[in-house]
Amino acid sequence: MTIEKKHCFTPVKENKNYRVAKIIEKEDGYYPLGKANPNDPHELDKFVGDYNHVKSICDMWNKHLGVDQKEEERIVWSSMGPMCSMGVYQ
Number of domains in the chain: 1
Q: What is the mean pLDDT of the chain?
A: 88
Is 90 within a domain? Answer: no
Is 2 within a domain? Answer: no
Is 68 within a domain? Answer: yes
Helices and strands (DSSP H and E) totals, the chain: 3, 4
pLDDT for the residue 67: 97
In contact, 90 and 84? CB cutoff 8 Å: yes
pLDDT for the residue 65: 97
Is 31 within a domain? Answer: yes
Domain that residue 67 falls in: 7-36+44-85
**Predicted confidence (pLDDT) at residue 45 exceeds the cutoff of 90:** no
List the beta bridge partners of residue 13. 18
